Structure 1
Amino acid sequence: MYPAYEEIQKPFLKEIIRRGGRTRPSDRNENGLSMYDALADYFNLSKEAREMTIYENGKARFKWHNMVRWVRNDCRKNGYLVSPSRHGIWEISEYGKRICK
């Protein structure tokens, strides 16, 4: 149903590059898609997978959004994203650009 976290990393980084190297997750690309939607399209996720809800600390969240945020966290820890960047901004590092080639 969902790709593995490791499978999401490169498409995640490439989508940030397509957006000029820096984006907010809710910013829309040229097709009007947020980061979450662009990646869901890339992986051909069903409507059900996109809208599956999980509960975290008593709050309902979309599972797919949660997965993408964990991928972002892993990319930051691995040095693929600038850290620290401004709150809410996902910015690719030079190292992240190199591993995408």
Structure 2
Amino acid sequence: MNDRDVMPAFDMLMEELDAIVTHLNQQGAQLMQAKEYAQAREVIVKAEAVLAFQAKVKALQEEWVRLSVSSSKKTPRKKQPGQRVMTTMLKQGLRTPNEAFMLPILQALVQLGGSGRVIEVLDRVERMMKEQLNKYDYESLPSNPKELRWRNNAQWARLNLVQAGYLASDSPRGIWEISEAGRALVLEAKE
């Protein structure tokens, strides 16, 4: 593994840890609002542990940079059929973060009457976020040239919404469905 592989791996890990902390913050806030203080404390402890881990990863990343390790001379591996090729990661902060898609997804579902096919939801989300999406969001994914980055990120945001209870986890394949908690969040955002 050479430096071209290591730094993107650090960046990818840091980005994922940021997303986890954001999710835990939302979950903790939701529990505090519901006056579920014991569960909220558990989430806070988890968030603090993730933040401590993230600080360790950041220190390791800085240490790696200081080491200035030269590239290892490996013979290139042949790609196996169906094997994913790792490419250079997009630098952090260039694309619209997954969290930015959460409220527009919920709003689109409310507009659609509570549920909708993925394509319908994403088309509405794109119209709502037109001013926010940038050139990096409209690039295709290196791992799947047929998929735009923003659509993939919106899919990850949808997963976070399901995990947080804002979308139904048992809706039919290809259909996204808002939950009562999701509707309440949309109403709260309007106020």
- TM-score, normalised on structure 2? 0.43
- Which runs of at least 4 in structure 1 moved beyond 3 Å after TM superposition? 48-51
Q: Gaps spanning 5+ residues in structure 1: where?
A: 28-34
Residue equivalent to 1:76: 162
Between Structure 1 and Structure 2, which shows a larger proportion of helix residues? 2
State which of 111, 118, 129 in structure 2 corresponds to 1:18. 111
**Secondary structure class of the residue paired with 2:118:** coil
**Secondary structure class of the residue paired with 2:104:** helix
Residue correspondences, number = 91
Q: Gaps spanning 5+ residues in structure 2: where?
A: 1-93
Of structures 1 and 2, the larger Rg is shown by 2
Q: Assess if the C-alpha contact under 8 Å between 2:116 and 2:176 holds in 1.
A: yes
**Secondary structure class of the residue paired with 2:141:** strand
Aligned mates of 1:86, 1:26 — CA distance in 2? 14
Residue pairs, 1:2-17, within 5 angstroms: 2-17=95-110
What is the Cα-based RMSD across aligned positions, in Å? 1.8
| 1:37, distance to aligned residue in structure 2 (A) | 3.1
Aligned mates of 1:14, 1:7 — CA distance in 2? 12
Letter in 2 for 1:88: G
Question: 1:66 and 2:159 equivalent?
Answer: no
